[in-house]
Structure 1
Amino acid sequence: MTGIPHEVADLGLAPAGVRRVAWAERSMPVLRSIHARFAAERPLAGMRVAACLHVTAETANLLRALRAGGAEVALAASNPLSTQDDTAAALAAEYGVAVHAWAGMDPAAYDRNLVTVLETRPHLLLDDGCDLVHTLHAARPDLLDGVLGGCEQTTTGVIRLRRMSAEGGLRLPMVAVNDTATKRMFDNRYGTGQSTIDGILRATNTMLAGRTVVVAGFGYCGRGLAERARGMGARVIVTEVDPVKALDAVMQGYTVTSMAQAAPVGDVFITVTGNRDVIRGEHLALMRDGAILANSGHFDLEIDLAALDRLAVAVDRGVREHADEYVFADGRRVLLLSEGRLVNLGAAEGHPAAVMDLSFAAHALTTAWLARAHGGLAPGVVDVPGEIDTEVAGLELAALGVDIDTLTPDQESYLRSWHP
């Protein structure tokens, strides 16, 4: 399949990538079942799909399912640091995906690859952070004709899409896969919680027990982070701008305060808000020697990197792999992980395959639904049909061997009636 257009670091890595993809597939029983169904039903026959996703083994299994369903797929990376080069090679050489991604690409190459996959004239888009949709609307609106709709995987991406829609700038239906109950619960909470801690530990080899961990943001991702840091013995401080989420954190027993108050006492700072400049220069100036800075929000804007550069009198790039040490004038040092980008993918492997099994199962089923239903959808942000979320949860319970109750006819009748 090497005749398929591709730009990867080394096609010779494909055999290692195949092994990596197969290993991930072992923990993805729900997506396996959907793959088999798609191969039989071919719901995406004749469809061209352009994707901007993290190029990981788990993503490869999603794209293999879409290919089994009949789709032609072109893939660009959604983060310059997250690409697994062996997986990218396997996608191009063995799985028939036109992949344009390699680890460590510069911003110009990142942008160019987005345009390259859009130039395949896709019918459907799969996005992770809204970069593909933004590029289509802002840079290449000439390619909009023929695009039927798409799916968005992340909180940050859905926020951007809703802004586009509110301003009248979104010209196609985009399904908020991120907003399903299974995605928020399984991927955002449990996946981000575990994989972010994994990235921090790999990058620093630090001990969390007895340390003070500051979690900025208490959405689903922040909750998962706080739970896992506390479970490892850390003292956890939460910072928030939303009074409801802040109150939730208080009632769960966390210390809640402002970043200005947390900055002098924290040992590890993790941003996961979807916003920019969460940690600013005035906070950095207060931090203790050895403070660790990590981001698990989608973009590298949550920590003010320009302010960090201004405060530093020296920078040791790569003091450890995936870690840069910034030295301030008074001798204090802070450690920035993964250049301020997603630490769970920059310094680790992202979410466990078992987590991505549910997220990508929902993505696959929603893509097939969109291929059928797009004609009845107006431009804007669209919710995933509830039956898809329910089906994914049921498939996962079956894979886990878990039985649950079903409603009796009398119970169903009672729930439909307003009589006692």
Structure 2
Amino acid sequence: MTATPVRLKYEVKDLALAPMGKQRIEWAGREMPVLAQIRDRFAKEQPFAGIKISACCHVTTETAHLAIALKAGGADAILIASNPLSTQDDVAASLVADYGIPVYAVKGEDNDTYHRHVQIALDHRPNIIIDDGCDVVATLVQQRKHQLPDLIGTTEETTTGIVRLRAMLRDGALTFPAINVNDAETKHFFDNRYGTGQSTLDGIIRATNILLAGKTIVVAGYGWCGKGTSMRARGMGANVIVTEINPVAAIEAVMDGFQVMPMDEAAKRGDIFVTVTGNKGVIRGEHFDSMKDGAIVCNSGHFDIEIDLEALKGRASEVKTVRTFTEEYKLKSGKSVIVLGEGRLVNLAAAEGHPSAVMDMSFANQAMGAEYLVKNKGKLEPGVYSIPVEADQEIARLKLQAMGFTIDALNADQIQYVNSWTSGT
């Protein structure tokens, strides 16, 4: 007697979107040779055999390749969205229909649905959590302590998530190892700088169709995401102002040729505002009061708390949608402020997120971080760990190789020199 197959559980917008999603997943794969090589190795070595993985990520064509690689490595994996506006519905449908991966993600899902999906991710009783913002991990620690013995560890790829994990460690709440994918050199140098820089401007342009040349763009935060956004905005002909709280980052922005000033002053000058700090309340009520009529405000930090939308709503007499993902707040003063993507990640809400070429390295780090946790099960103390240098450099080597570049190697004499303290002038 033939057993009845278990029906794949999922929650996506429409499975009929799968053919377009599969086509787009395959297109993204052209720019993701590193993850493809890791996927092929995983398929042979099966590092995740018997391992349950819950991944909370932006459900994009690039994330699809991470999910496919994990499944190829033997994982029992499910995927939920890490942001209500970042899901690409056709990709979610294709992962279910074409690749047999359970997905719980719908673009525009409300907060209740999002939190229900977080619970579904934990119902999976994961051994590994791949997180983007630390919501799944934080919910596990706060609400499901009885599942902690199941957990080998987590990987996290956002600045916001790493801040939360380190706070958990200080509070004694982090009782398992966490891999800091965000700070891998092949992640933040490229994903945060080149990925965020390009995709943020892409989202602004798609949402507004405005000319950036000649505009004054205020970038709040000069970390790697702020550096990339500022660089790309200047490349499009914009005048760039940077706001910062860190004096070292601020002087770096000055040395890079940008104007630096407090947000109180920048608010009076900017035409477009982009927050990329990972903190809350970066643009507040008093700043809206100072802005020009028609100022455009958006966020490329992980959570939608960098812009105080409640303060803006309290000053508004009317809110209306003027373009897709573009809302105009008519203020009681007579001015208007334009908000893009509901204050959520503009590059994913209004565009398609980072280009595949940079996510190739970011998700290679996620995949190898998860593998590292499994290989070192029971050997790592609770804490936040960096990606091993060897893995970081291997990802860079594979990327260079795929791009057709080769580099020098130290010869025996040079190796001896750099490992000796007796040689000198």
Q: TM-score range by the shorter chain?
A: over 0.9
Alignment partner, residue 193 of structure 2 = 189
Q: C-alpha distance in 1, partners of 2:191/2:405?
A: 20
In structure 2, the partner of 1:367 is 370
Once the 2 structures are TM-superposed, how far is the Cα of residue 374 of structure 1 from its aligned partner? Answer: 2.6
Query: Could you report, residue by residue, the CA deviation over 1:169-212 in whole angstroms, capped at 9, with x for unpaired residues?
Result: 11211100001111011100000000000000000011110000
What is the one-letter code of the residue matched to 1:269? F
Q: CA deviation at 1:262?
A: 0.4
Partner of residue 279, structure 2 = 275
- Look up the match of 1:354: 357
* 1:363 shift after superposition: 1.1
User: Does the CA-based 8 Å contact 1:17-1:90 persist in structure 2?
Assistant: yes
Contact kept? 1:216, 1:278, Cα under 8 Å: yes
Aligned to 2:334, what secondary structure does the other structure show? coil
What pairs up with 1:145-160 in 2 under 5 angstroms? 145-160=149-164
Amino acid at match of 1:163: A
The correspondence of residues 171-190 of structure 1 with structure 2, limited to 5 A, is 171-190=175-194
Match of 1:332 in 2: 335
Aligned pairs (5 A) from 1:17-416: 17-316=21-320, 318-416=321-419
Alpha-carbon distance in structure 2 between the residues aligned to 1:22 and 1:166: 43
Tell me if structure 1 keeps the 8 A contact 2:121–2:136.
no
Whole-Å separation in 2 of the counterparts to 1:391 and 1:367: 16
The aligned amino acid for 1:72 is D
Q: Distance in 1 between matches of 2:251 and 2:214?
A: 24
Give yes or no for contact 2:269–2:291 (8 Å, CA) kept in 1. yes
Contact 2:67 2:79 in 1 (8 A): no
- State the partner residue of 1:417: 420
**Contact 1:119 / 1:143 at 8 angstroms: preserved in 2?**
no
State how far apart, in whole Å, the 2-side matches of 1:380 and 1:111 are: 26
Structure 1 vs Structure 2: percent identity of aligned residues?
55
How far does residue 132 in structure 1 lie from its aligned partner after superposition?
Answer: 0.7
Instruction: Give every structure 1 segment of 4 or more consecutive aligned residues whose post-TM-superposition deviation is greater than 4 Å.
Output: none
Between the aligned partners of 1:171 and 1:53, the Cα distance in structure 2 is: 23
| Letter aligned with residue 52 of structure 2 | R
Instruction: Indicate how the Cα distance of structure 1 residues 366 and 50 shifts in structure 2: closer, same or farther if over 3 A, else same.
Output: same
How far 1:2 moved relative to its partner?
8.8
Count the aligned residue pairs. Answer: 419
Quote the Cα distance in structure 1 between the aligned partners of 2:165 and 2:372.
Answer: 20
2:193·2:226 contact (CA, 8 Å) conserved in 1? yes
CA positional deviation for 1:72: 0.8
1:14 is matched by which residue type in structure 2? A
**TM-score normalised by length of structure 1:** 0.98
CA distance in 1, matches of 2:259, 2:167: 32
Q: Distance in 2 between matches of 1:135 and 1:218?
A: 30
CA deviation profile, 1:83-126 (whole Å, cap 9, x unmatched): 01111111111212111111111111100101101111111010
Could you tell me how far apart the structure 2 residues matched to 1:89 and 1:368 are?
A: 27
Task: Give 2:394's aligned amino acid.
Answer: E
Whether the aligned pair in 2 keeps the contact of 1:173 and 1:374 (CA below 8 Å) is no
CA RMSD in angstroms comes to 1.0
Distance 2:268 2:153 in 1: 47
Contact 1:67 1:73 in 2 (8 A): yes
- Structure 1: 5+ residue stretches without partners: none
Amino acid paired to 2:102: A
User: For 1:192, what is the secondary structure of its paired residue?
Assistant: helix
For 2:190 and 2:126, the matched residues in 1 are separated by 30
CA drift at 1:145: 2.2
User: Cα offset for 1:27?
Assistant: 0.8
Aligned amino acid, residue 337 of structure 1: L
Q: Distance in 2 between matches of 1:143 and 1:326?
A: 45
Query: By how many angstroms is 1:79 displaced?
Result: 0.1
Structure 2 unaligned regions, length at least 5? none
